Amino acid sequence: MTPRPGNGASLAALVGLLGVLWGFGNVLQGDVWWWRVALVMVGVHAVLFLLRRRGLRLAPLAGLVALGLLVVWVFVPGSTLLGIPTPATAHALRQHLSLAIAVVAEEQAPLIPPEPLMTGMALGFGMLVIVVDAFARSRRFALWGVGAVYATGLGIASLIVGANPPLLAFVVAAAGWLAIVAARSSVPSTSRLVLASVMGTVALVAGVLAPSVVAADLTPAASTWGRAPVDVFGRGINPMVRLGENLRRGDSVEVLRSITTAEEPPYLKVATLVDMEGGTWAPIDDPDGLPYEQPLEDIDPDIESTVEEISIAVDDLDSTMLPMPYPAEGVRGLVGTWSWHPVGGTVRSRTETTRGQTYVADYVELDPDANQMRERQALLPPAMMGRYLALPDDTPPQIAAVARSRTAGLTNDYDRVVALQDWMREDFRYSETSPVAEGYDGNGVEVIERFLVEEQAGYCVHFSSALAVMARSLGIPARIAVGYAPGEPAGRTNDGERVYSTSSDALHAWTEIYFEGAGWVRFDATPGVGRATGFDEPTISGQASVGDLPNAGNATGGTPQDPRSLTEGEQGADAADEGAAGGPSQAVVAAVGGIAVTLLLLVPGVARRARRWWRWRRGRDQAEPLWREITDTATDLGIDVPIRATMRRQAEPLKDHAGPGLVAVVASVERERYAASPGNVAVLDEARSSVRALEDSVPTWRRWLARYFPRSLVRRSN
Amino acid sequence: MDLAAAARALHDNVSRVIDGKPDAIDTAIVVLLAEGHLLIEDVPGVGKTALARALARSVDGSVNRVQFTPDLLPSDITGVSVFDQATARFEFRPGAVFAHVVIGDEINRASPKTQSALLEAMSERQVSVDGTTYQLSRPFMVVATQNPLEMEGTYALPEAQRDRFMARISMGYPDAAAELDMIHGHDRTEPIDALEPVVSLEDFAAMIAEARAVHVSDAVGRYVVDIATATRSDERLLLGASPRATLQLVRAAKAYAAVRGREFVVPDDIDALAVSVLAHRLIVQRGEPEAEHIVRSIVDRTPVPTGS
C-alpha cells in the first residue's frame, strides 16, 4: 500500500484548526487556554492517525472516546481513580459544561477563560478535529468541508469580539488549508483546483468581512465591545460563579459614584443568595416560596436606628440588578420599570440596565449595642428556618467541628458569629488566586473545608460562604449578599459633601445573619475589605428614639415584601431605548453564537444540496454526474454501493429502490465512458426519478438524516 | 438481421434442446461468434454433445463428432491422402476437422499426439497433409469435452493446449424440473433432429465480422491488462494468464457486448467473462482454492476504470 494522501491532508487540517483556535485570542486572554485545548486536539489527532493506520474503520468513534478521556485527564483529573473515570467524573464534567454555557451566555469578551470554558472548548475543538480529519480524508470534500469549518470558526471568533481575529490565526488557517489543497491535488484536475481555491478564498474573505458587517447592523453598542465593559450581574445569572473571575480581571473601572448622609458609605447589595446547590450558591428562583425580610416596622424600637440617604450615579455598569443599600425604605429617580425582589430587598428590572442611572435611596442604619444583640436569638419563623439552615448532604463534618471549636464557651448567637468573623479576619489571608484549583473558584462545601482547614486564604467568595456555612452548621440562619464594598473617598462636591467612588474591583460578597427583632445583619469575614461588624459595648443606653423609626406610610418605595413598580412614567419611553442600547451585547452574542452553530450544522446539508444542484446542471448533457448523484444519494440513505466495482454491480443493490429509470442512466453512462463515439443521450429525467424513488424507498428518519448529515460527503463512492 | 436479435433467436433455438442452462448456451454462442473454441468440462451425460450439435444445427453448419479414444490416430483428425487407382492420383480424404462444428468427445482420452493434431488445426484453422494446405471451413469451432481428471483413463491436457480454448464452461446437472422436462421431450422425438436453422452461414459470417468491429476503449483495455497482470503476480498461482488469454478475453468480450446489442465493451462484459475465459489456463499452487475463485477475487479487487 502506498502512503495515503489523507494523512498529510489531515495533519494540515489539524494545523489549520489550531490556527482557528488562536482566532479566539481576541476573545480570551492569556495563552494557557490555547496550550491546553491544543494539547487535547493534538492528542485526538494522534489517536485518529494511529487507528487509521491500523485500518480501523470506526476511527471517528474511537476518536470521540479518546477525546472524552483526554478532556477528563487534562481538565478534571482529580475526579478519576488512577485515570479511570468514575461517577464523580461525569458529575464534574456536567458541572464544567453547565458553567461553561453560563459563561458563554453571560460573560463579555474579552475574558480570562475559566477552567470550565476551556473544558467546553476542548470538547468542541476536539470534535472539530474529528470532523476535519474526516473531511480532509474524503477525496471530494476536503477543500470545501475544511474551508467551511475554518471560515465558520474564525467567523464566530470575530463576531464575538466584533473585530478581526489575530492575523496569525488567519495565516495559519489559510496555510493549513492550502496544504490540503496541495496534498489533495495529487491527481491534478486544474479546473477543480482553481475552483476550490476561489471558493476557499471567498469563504475566508467572507469570514473576515461578515463580522464587521453583521456587528455593525446588529449591535448598536458595538463600539463598547472592545474594551471590556463591566457587566457582572447579567440577566438571571449566578453572580457567585463569576465573582472571582471579575475580581481577577485587573483592569478596574469606576462603576458608580455616591454621596451619602451617613458617616460612612454603606455596602451596596445587588443580589442575595440563599440556596447552596450543585456546589455553589444559587440565586433564588422561586421567591414566592421564601419571602422573608424583616419588615422595617417590626424592628425592635429599643434598637437605635437612623434613616440615611444615598445618591448614586451609575457610570460603567450594565446590569439589571441595582446596587442598593440594605435595608432600604425606598428609591427615587430611576428611569424605566424596576421592582423589588421579595428576597433580600434588592431592586431589579426586566427591561432596563443600570448604565447611566441616577437615583436616591433611603435606608436604615441600625446601631444596636452589643448586649441588645446578645439578647436576641437568631431565629426565623419556623416555615423559613429550614431553608436558611439547609446544607448539602455532602458537607464535610469538619466544617461544623471547626465552627464548634471556635465558638466553644460562647453562650449566644451574636457572639458566636462575631467570633467566627473575627477569627477569619485576623487569622486568614486575602488572596484572589490561591484556591483556584479544580472546581470552579470553588465555594462548594469541599472547597470550604479546604479553605478553613488547609489554605486559610482566599477571597470574599470563600470568606462569605465559609461564614454562612459555619453559621448554618451551628443552627444560625444565614445567607450571602453580593454587591459592592463601601466606596472610597473621591473628593467633595461644591457643597462640601463627600463623594465616594466605587470601582469594579470593589465587587464583594458578605454574609447576612438573621436576628429576631433586628432583621438581617451584615457580617463581613473578609480580611482587609469593608468593615467588620461589632456593635459597641453598652455604655449608657436609652437614647433610642421612637421618632427615628421609619414610618411605613411615608416610605416612597414600599416594603420589600410587597414588590411594587417604581415606574417614573414620563422619562420612561425615551430613556428606555437608551437603556436597552446599553446592554444588548450578551443577547446578541448568544443569538449570533446560536445562529453560527446552527449554520455550522447546516453546512454539510447545504454543501450536499449544492453538489446535487451542480450535478443536475451538468447532467443536462452528461450522464456521469447523474450517476454519481445516484450513487451518492444511495450512500446518504445508507444503501451500500460497492466501490471499485463495475457499474452493474454498483447498480445491483439499487435495483429494488431506484425504479426503471436506473437502467437507462446506467446505459447512458456506459456509453459515455466506453463507447467509441459517445452520443448524447439525455437521461436527466430518469436520473431525477431514480433519486426520488431511492429517497421514497427509505423511512422518513433516514431521509432526514441523509439530508442534514450526508455520508457521501466523507465517504468515497466510485 | 440485427445481431442481437439473431443471437437471441440462436439462444432460444438451442434452449429447446438444452433445458435450464442459459449461461452455458450464452457462453457457447459468444465463443462461436468470437471464433474461439470451447472446452466443456463435466461428467458424462449432462448434455455437452447435445449443446454443440444444437448450436451447429442452428447456424446451419455441418457437424463432425469424434470420440477420442487411446487408439485414435492424428490422421483421423486431419485427413489422409489415399491413392485412387481409377485416376492414378492421390486423393485427399478430409478428416474430422472439416466441419463447422467439431465435437471432440472426451478429448483427454486420446494420446497426446492425437490431441495435438486437433489443437494445431484449432489455432491454424488449416490442415497440411503431404505438403498441401487445406483451409478449414468458417465458422470453425471445436467443442471439446473433457471429463474431470479424476475419471479413469484420462490424460491431462497440457496447459499450452488448454490455452488454445477460448473458454471453459461446466454444464452442471440440470435442476429437477429441467430434468423432468427432458424426460418428456426426449420421449417424443429426438429433439436435435427437430431443430431448424435460425441463421444462415452467410449471416453468421456477417455477425462474426460485426462482433469483431465492436469498440474497446483504452480504459477497458487497461482493465483487461490489469486483470491479466494481477494473475501473473498472484502468489496463489504458479502460472498466470498469457498474452493470448488477454487477447481472447477481449475478443470474447466484444462478442458478448455485440450479443447484448452494444457496439462497445464495458467493464461488466469483462467481469462476466473473466472466469470462464481465464480460469482454465491458470495453474494453481498446491493447497490454494480453485482457479475460478482466484480469478473471481482478482477481478473483484481490480479497480474499474471510469474514464474513457
Q: Nearest by CB to B304, from A645, A671, A676: name it.
A: A645
Q: What is the mean pLDDT of chain B?
A: 84
- What per-residue confidence (pLDDT) applies to B177? 78
Per-residue cell: A263: 458617616
pLDDT (0 to 100) of residue A2: 41
Alpha helices in chain B, H assignment, sequence order: 3-15, 22-33, 48-58, 74-78, 112-124, 159-162, 176-188, 191-194, 201-212, 218-233, 243-259, 267-278, 291-301
* B153 shares its domain with B280: no
Q: Does the CB of A718 have a partner CB in chain B at under 8 Å?
A: yes
Mutation test of the interface with chain B: which of A646, A647, A650, A716, choosing the one with the most B Cβ atoms within 10 A? Answer: A646
Residue B34 lies in a domain: yes
pLDDT for the residue numbered B280? 87
B226 in the same domain as B131: no
Q: Nine-digit cell at A151? A: 471560515
pLDDT band, residue B222 (cuts 50/70/90): very high
Mutate to test the interface with B, among A674, A681, A718 (most CBs of B within 10 A): A674
Q: What is the H or E stretch that residue A701 is in?
A: helix A700-708
B200 falls within a domain = no
B205 in any annotated domain? no
CB contact under 8 A, B267 and A672: no
- Burial label for A570, CB within 10 Å (0-12, 13-18, 19+), is exposed
pLDDT of residue A216: 39
Three-state DSSP at A715 gives: coil
C-alpha cell at B47: 448434455
Containing H/E element for A208? helix A190-218
SS3 B133: strand
Chain A nearest C-alpha distance from B301 (Å): 7
Please give the residue of chain B at the shortest CA–CA distance from A675.
B264
Residues B151 and B224 in one domain: no
Nearest to B219 among A671, A674, A718 (CB): A674
Helix, strand, coil proportions of chain A in percent (round to 5)? 55, 15, 35
Nearest to B284 by CA among B162, B166, B107: B162
CATH of the domain at B241: 1.10.8.80
Partner-chain residue, chosen from A624, A649, A674, that has the shortest CB–CB distance to B264: A674
CB A114 within 8 A of CB A145: no
Residue range B253-267: mean pLDDT, rounded = 91
Compute the C-alpha angle A169/A175/A179, nearest 5°.
Answer: 145
Give dist(CA B21, CA B174) in Å, integer: 7
> What backbone phi and psi angles, to 5 degrees, belong to A573?
-60, -55
Say if the Cβ atoms of B308 and A670 lie within 8 Å.
Answer: no
pLDDT 10s digits, A686-712: 888 888 888 888 888 888 888 888 888
For helices A239-247 and A460-473, angle between their N-to-C axes, nearest 10 degrees: 140
Q: Are residues B42 and B150 in the same domain?
A: yes
Residue B277 lies in a domain: yes
Cell (9 digits) for A573: 419611553
Give yes or no for a contact between A446 and A235, defined as CB atoms under 8 angstroms apart.
Answer: no
Confirm or reject contact between B226 and chain A (CB < 8 A): no
Q: How far is CA B137 from the centre of its chain?
A: 16
B194 in any annotated domain = no
Please list the ranges in chain A whose pLDDT falls under 50: 1-3, 186-188, 210-238, 437-440, 541-584, 717-718
Residue B246 has a pLDDT of 92
**What is the model's pLDDT at position A581?**
39
Task: Tell whether the model's pLDDT for residue B254 goes beyond 90.
Answer: yes
Q: Is B111 on the interface with A (CB under 8 A)?
A: no
Q: Which helix (H) or strand (E) holds A461?
A: helix A460-473
Total domains in the fold of chain B? 2
For residues A41 and A126, is the Cβ–Cβ distance under 8 A?
Answer: yes
Contact residues on chain B for A140, CB-CB shorter than 8 A = none
Give A677→chain B minimum CA distance, Å. 9
Chain B stretch 196-215, residues whose beta carbon is closer than 8 A to a beta carbon of chain A: 215
**Residue numbers in B near A670 (CB within 8 A):** 262, 264, 266, 268
Q: Do B308 and A674 touch (CB under 8 A)?
A: yes
Bridging pattern class, strands B167-169 and B38-41: parallel
Flag if A676 and B264 touch (Cβ within 8 Å). yes
Based on the domain organization, do B168 and B271 belong to the same domain? no
| DSSP designation for A84 | B
Q: Are residues B301 and A645, on separate chains, in Cβ contact within 8 Å?
A: no
| CATH number, domain with residue B142 | 3.40.50.300
Q: Which residues of B touch A648 (CB under 8 A)?
A: 268, 271
| Whole-number Å distance between alpha carbons of A197 and B99 | 68
Check A647 against B268: CB less than 8 A apart.
yes
Q: What is the pLDDT of residue A583?
A: 43
pLDDT on residue B239 = 85
Residues of A in contact with B307 (CB under 8 A): 673
Whether B98 and B27 share a structural domain: yes
Q: What is the pLDDT of residues A448-479, one digit of tens each?
A: 888 888 878 877 878 888 888 899 888 888 88
Residues B178 and B43 in one domain: yes
List CB contacts (< 8 A) between A649 and chain B.
268, 271
pLDDT of residue A672: 85
Q: What is the residue range of B56's domain?
A: 3-187
Crossing angle for the helix pair A700-708 and A624-636, to the nearest 10 degrees: 120
Distance, in Å, from the CA atom of A120 to the CA atom of A645, rounded to the nearest integer, reads: 44
CA dist., res. B132 & res. A366, Å (int): 140
% of chain A exceeding 70 in pLDDT = 74
**In the CATH scheme, what architecture does the domain A239-582 have?**
Roll (3.10)
Q: What is the pLDDT of residue B258?
A: 92
Per-residue model confidence (pLDDT) at position A400: 87
Residue B126 and residue B248 in one domain: no
Do residues B128 and B220 share a domain?
no
C-alpha A451 chain-centroid distance: 26
Contact A271, A283 (CB under 8 A): yes
Residue A566 is predicted with a pLDDT of 39
Is A716 an interface residue toward B (CB < 8 Å)?
no
Distance between CA A548 and CA A307 in Å, rounded?
7
- Provide the pLDDT for residue A86: 83
pLDDT value of residue B216? 92
Angle value at C-alpha A305, between A300 and A307, nearest 5 degrees: 125
The C-alpha atoms of residue A475 and residue A312 are separated, in whole angstroms, by: 37
Question: Residue B190, Cα to own-chain centre: how many angstroms?
Answer: 24
Domain spans, chain A: 5-225, 239-582, 619-713
CA separation for the pair B207, B17 (Å, rounded)? 23
Angle at Cα A220 formed by Cα A217 and Cα A222, nearest 5°? 90
A32-53 and A115-137 helices, crossing angle to 10°: 30
CB atoms within 10 A of CB A47: 21
Q: Are residues B46 and B143 in the same domain?
A: yes
Residues B190, B182: Cα–Cα separation, whole Å: 11
Q: Would B250 be classed as within a structural domain? A: yes
Q: Could you tell me if the ipTM is greater than 0.90? A: no
> Which cell is A415 given?
457572639
Does residue B228 share a domain with residue B99? no
Among A616, A611, A608, smallest CA distance to A686 is for A616
| C-alpha cell belonging to residue A165 | 481575529
Q: Given a cut of 90, is residue B255 above it in pLDDT? A: yes
51-110 in chain B: CB under 8 A from chain A: none
